[in-house]
Amino acid sequence: MIYEFKSRATGSVVMLQPVAERLLEIIGKAPGPAGIVTVAQLPEAIRRLEAAVAAERAQPAASAAPQPSDDTQEGPDPAARISLTQRAWPLIEMMKAAAAAERDVTWGV
């Protein structure tokens, strides 16, 4: 399933379900087929995402990058190496632009 985040202040941000739902949980929203982050909620949502990114960056690099196990010839799933920073950045930028323009951010599946 794909989530599409929209705001009248920016273009759309599209994410796969696991990533989108993780980010929604971080900002305190229940994952679902549709929802809204109101203008009043945007500053707290941005703060929570930025705090989660900062917490991930504070972790030692060894724990952030999974190592291949001895019983596999290939490395870890490439998607597992994509950091929260990389995944959250487009949504954070959208939320900042929406807050500046005083527009809500909505999502749909």
pLDDT of residue 75: 57
pLDDT of residue 43: 98
In the chain, the amino acid numbered 102 is: E
pLDDT of residue 108: 87
Which of the two residues, 4 and 76, has the higher pLDDT score?
Answer: 4
pLDDT of residue 82: 83
Which of the two residues, 98 and 67, has the higher pLDDT score?
Answer: 98
Domain-wise residue ranges, the chain: 2-58+84-108
pLDDT in tens, 24-80: 999 999 999 999 999 999 999 999 999 999 999 898 764 545 555 555 555 555 556
Give the mean model confidence (pLDDT) for residues 18-26. 96
How many Å apart are CA 38 and CA 30, to the nearest integer?
A: 14
pLDDT-derived band at 1, boundaries 50, 70, 90: confident
State pTM to two decimals.
0.80
How many Å apart are CA 65 and CA 41, to the nearest integer?
A: 32
How many Å apart are CA 24 and CA 32, to the nearest integer?
A: 9
Which of 61-65, 81-85, 89-93 tops mean pLDDT? 89-93
